[in-house]
Amino acid sequence: MYAGFPPRPPHEPRPRTPPPLARLPLDAQLTALRTTLSRNEVLLAVLERTAALALPHWYVTAGCLFQTVWNVVTDRPPTHGIKDYDVFYYDDTDLSWEAEDAAIRGGREAYGDLPADVEIRNEARVHLWYADKFGVPCPPHDSVESAIDSFASTTCCLGVRLEPDGRWRVYAPHGLADVFNLVVRPNPVLAPREVYEAKAGRWAREWPELRVLEWPK
């Protein structure tokens, strides 16, 4: 799923819980996603400020998105349990740490007054450090989308950015049903089993309503 849709009207109602996503048409799923994520005012601020940074081919991604949905679905505060807000961008013209650090320092200034940790990462550089951190090699990514595709759970594979005209661009290669149905599904393409199980275990402690599926045997 890769789609964009127009900005939300200023007085559009925000229901407490979305309808069952598996039974909605695609355009309604996208509308429900935006309505739900808009309950998280910190997330909206991160999106707006990241757009102003003009990072190349960026997305806000990972936990801050699907965990906001889990919070709304389970009637928790929208920011409950969210450790940080991940901003991925892609720039393969300069793979130096100095270039990425310049983007990170720009983000510190942009997000400094928000009650959240925002982590900026150049996904073109991931293969340079991934093996040291996770113990398995990572082929070079050719886009932010390919980085999102490699998350340990397919439920995590979600990215959102603001386009210059105010539209939301949504990347969701595995759809949205698992996110709204509180299903955590493994994605055994890169991250090892222990990474998936550690993440899923932590999430299940914060959101015990989750249904965590086992790593394939």
In this predicted model, what pLDDT tens digit does every residue of 72-130 receive, in sequence order?
999 999 999 999 999 999 999 999 999 999 999 999 999 999 999 999 999 999 999 88
* E strands present in the chain: 2-5, 59-61, 85-89, 118-122, 159-162, 168-171, 183-184, 211-212
Contact by Cβ (8 Å): 57, 143: yes
**φ/ψ (deg, to 5) at 176:** -120, -10
In this predicted model, what pLDDT tens digit does every residue of 30-86 receive, in sequence order?
999 999 999 999 999 999 999 999 899 999 999 999 999 999 999 999 999 999 999
> How does residue 26 score in pLDDT terms, banded at 50, 70 and 90?
confident
pTM of the entire structure?
A: 0.87
Q: What is the 3-state secondary structure (H, E, C) of 16-44?
A: CCCCCHHHCCHHHHHHHHHHHHCCCHHHH
> How does residue 22 score in pLDDT terms, banded at 50, 70 and 90?
low
pLDDT the model gives residue 25: 79
Mean pLDDT of 169-197: 94
- The pLDDT of residue 21 is above 70: no
- The pLDDT of residue 15 is above 70: no
